[in-house]
Chain A
Amino acid sequence: MTTLNEELPLARKKRLSHNRYAYFLVLPALAPVLILSVVPLLNGIYLGFTDARAGLNQTTHFTGIENYTELLSNDLFWASFKIGLIWAFSVTILQFLAALGLALLLNLNLRLQWLTRTLALVPWAMPPVIVGIMWQLVYHPDAGLVNEALYRVGMGDLATNWLGDFSTALPAVIVVGVWAGMPQTTVVLLAGLQGVPAELNEAAAVDGASTWRRFWSITLPQLRPVIVAITSLDFIWNFNSFGLVYVLTTGGPGGKTMLPMLFAYEEAFKFGHFGTAAAMGNVMVLIIVVLLFFYLRRRMREVNA
């Protein structure tokens, strides 16, 4: 930036007009983002502190923390949050472990890799709604793949209505979440693995370090920044996800898969309680921020230690 101060007045003047020209080009991009996402988002946060309702002739009043005290005593809301956290944690962790395994395999020079690489991308290419439909076919109680596979291997007694049964619905939905989100995580981890200097591994191998040892002491620490970034993002995406579970179960059976986003959606657009729904959104943001804060702080300490 020091060079800027040393510039001749003429050059500075030219730069200024250059900047004005730039702002003119940037404005068409800035305006819609401001009007249709920044402003609504701020407004949405504010609505969480009001009694806003759907409908034309409704007046909205500021109610402070009333929505939140009401939410505190709302059992359904708590149940939904618990489900949301179980979902987000299980999917993120399982997704990470599965993706790490796959990325490590893809980083070796095995045959059939083209097939796995392609297949690993397909779930990513599929719209969440279609993924939901596809797994409905897989879990179908009569015509589904899972029950038929169990029957073929002689465990037909285990066959059940996976998405309709109280005890299996959430785990079944979590498996779909892992399936759908694995590609992104795999691709990012694979990119990270390819960034680990080969010399490090070779040197360690020469020194007689076992594969396992090299993985723990070289690959994993080198991969840490990528791991922290992708697991944080995955967690946010999973906690806020909607389409997949909406299509799979619509929150059923009996609310066993009612993720917070589904709950807030129903609150807003089925019952018209805009204020309450926005308040739920605020609580979701708060929870994510707090969790991320602790997670990232711990990782930072590990790096500094």
Chain B
Amino acid sequence: MNRSKPLTRALQYLALLGYIAFLAFPLLWMLSTSFKTPQEVVELHPSLIPREPTLDNYTSAFEQQHLARAAWNSLQVSVGSAVLTVVIALPAAYALARVRSRINTLATAWILLSQLFPFILLVIPLFIILKGASLTNSLFGLILVYVTWSLPFALWMLQGFVRGIPRELEEAAAMDGASRFQTLWRIVAPLLAPGVVAVTLFAFISSWNEFFFALVLLKRPELATLPLELAKFVGIEGIARLGPLAAGSLMATVPSLIFFAFLQRRLTSGGLAGAVKG
């Protein structure tokens, strides 16, 4: 590969630049729109670099558009479902990883199978059930749905991390007279910490980004999560208020960006190969 001809190499760089442009320009455009004054946003021939950059869009996104309230709702829902998911999944994953069980196969089968079904099949009965339990129009109801939806994957991920801890370590600790609890707390927990962080973040981000269930289950405007509020914003006054819309959207993306920055190494260094091949 190192002996490529100069022409080939040039073409490769050209292709790479093409990809960079395709991937980056939409982002740059949103970034640029978020710093433009209301007058400049609607000008006929807009430029990429704002003439008079302003932070007004960021402040007005928060002040006028109920975005702060929506962000707070999203934060409650995401933290709630992330914590609940991990608290439920961790003991289960430990047990499943250490004891051979058919539930393992079932959990994996369910993860794969559940991908197949369009959400509409799930959401109608779920809506009826939750309505019966007065849990529609409730952030807690939404948390329950998100936890259920993150659990199989969280279980599967955490099991992988538990399996990575050699059983001999635990046996050695038990041999040295450590109680079961001590073994779990002193030996297993520290080794499991990175896995727990990854799964917590995963559950947080899936809830933070989720749109469809929230759209169906939350009808009261004061309960709207961030994606709902932003989507509404497009429909009603998006055209006139592109600046604050762009600013709000960028802020809503920050948590996911942090998550991906955290995972980036693993993702691009081929760390997923194992996960993909099962």
Which residues of chain A have a CB within 8 Å of any CB of chain B?
A: 18-19, 21-23, 25-26, 28-30, 32-33, 35-41, 43-45, 47-48, 52, 98, 101-102, 105-106, 108-113, 115-130, 132-138, 140, 142-145, 148, 151, 179, 182, 187-188, 190-192, 194-195, 211, 225-226, 229-230, 233, 236-237, 239-240, 242-243, 246-247, 250, 260-261, 264-265, 268-269, 274, 277-278, 280-282, 284-285, 288-289
CB within 8 Å of A: which B118-136 residues: 118-126, 128-129
- Smallest CB gap from A32: residue in B: B148
B125 engages A40 (CB within 8 Å): yes
- Contact pick for B231, options A37, A246, A268, CB 8 Å: A246
Q: Which residues of A contact B128 (CB under 8 A)?
A: 274
In the complex, A250→B226 CA distance in Å?
Answer: 18
Contact with A along B238-254 (1 / 0, CB 8 A): 10001001100100110
- Contact pick for B151, options A32, A127, A261, A280, CB 8 Å: A32
Q: Which residues of A contact B121 (CB under 8 A)?
A: 41, 44-45, 48, 278, 281-282, 285
- The listed residue with most B CB atoms (<10 A of its CB), out of A40, A116, A211, is A40
B101 engages A116 (CB within 8 Å): no
B212 engages A242 (CB within 8 Å): yes
B152 engages A137 (CB within 8 Å): no
A29-B151, A109-B1, A261-B118 are contacts. A128–B211 as well, Cβ < 8 Å? Answer: yes
- The listed residue with most A CB atoms (<10 A of its CB), out of B99, B118, B148, B227, is B118
**Size of B's binding interface in residues, CB under 8 A:** 91
In the complex, A265→B245 CA distance in Å?
Answer: 25
Q: Which residues of B contact A225 (CB under 8 A)?
A: 277
A29-B88, A36-B145, A136-B238 are contacts. A127–B253 as well, Cβ < 8 Å? Answer: yes
B92 engages A29 (CB within 8 Å): yes
Stretch at the interface among B41-49, B52-60, B61-69, B190-198: B41-49
Would you call the interface of chain B mostly helix, strand, loop, or mixed?
A: helix
B209 engages A277 (CB within 8 Å): no
A19 engages B101 (CB within 8 Å): yes
- The listed residue with most A CB atoms (<10 A of its CB), out of B95, B145, B235, B277, is B95
Q: Which residues of B contact A138 (CB under 8 A)?
A: 25-26, 29
List 23 A-B residue pairs with CB atoms under 8 Å apart, sorted by A's residue number: A28-B88, A32-B148, A33-B148, A40-B125, A41-B121, A45-B121, A112-B13, A120-B268, A121-B260, A123-B23, A127-B209, A127-B253, A128-B211, A129-B211, A132-B231, A142-B42, A142-B44, A187-B272, A225-B277, A226-B276, A237-B115, A242-B211, A285-B116
B230 engages A122 (CB within 8 Å): no
In the complex, A119→B19 CA distance in Å?
Answer: 9
- Smallest CB gap from B115: residue in A: A236
Q: Which residues of B contact A148 (CB under 8 A)?
A: 45-46
- Smallest CB gap from A229: residue in B: B276
- Contact pick for A145, options B13, B29, B89, CB 8 Å: B29
In the complex, A130→B259 CA distance in Å?
Answer: 16
Q: Which residues of A contact B124 (CB under 8 A)?
A: 44, 47, 52, 268, 274, 277-278
In the complex, A116→B115 CA distance in Å?
Answer: 29
Chain B proximity of A21: nearest CB distance (Å): 7
Q: Which residues of A contact B41 (CB under 8 A)?
A: 143
Would you call the interface of chain A mostly helix, strand, loop, or mixed?
A: helix
B125 engages A43 (CB within 8 Å): yes
In the complex, A243→B98 CA distance in Å?
Answer: 39
Tell yes or no: B264 within 8 A of A by CB: yes
Tell yes or no: B175 within 8 A of A by CB: no
In the complex, A236→B25 CA distance in Å?
Answer: 28
- The listed residue with most B CB atoms (<10 A of its CB), out of A118, A126, A233, A281, is A126
- Smallest CB gap from B42: residue in A: A143
A128-B209, A134-B29, A135-B26 are contacts. A37–B95 as well, Cβ < 8 Å? Answer: no
B13 engages A110 (CB within 8 Å): yes
A242 engages B234 (CB within 8 Å): no
Q: Which residues of B contact A137 (CB under 8 A)?
A: 26, 29-30, 33, 242, 245-246
Contact with A along B203-218 (1 / 0, CB 8 A): 0000011011001100
Chain B proximity of A286: nearest CB distance (Å): 11
Chain B proximity of A294: nearest CB distance (Å): 15
Chain A proximity of B184: nearest CB distance (Å): 12
Known: A36-B145, A151-B45, A261-B119. 19 other contacts (CB 8 A): A26-B96, A32-B88, A39-B125, A41-B122, A44-B123, A109-B1, A110-B12, A115-B20, A117-B268, A128-B211, A129-B209, A134-B26, A143-B42, A148-B45, A191-B272, A226-B277, A229-B276, A280-B120, A285-B117
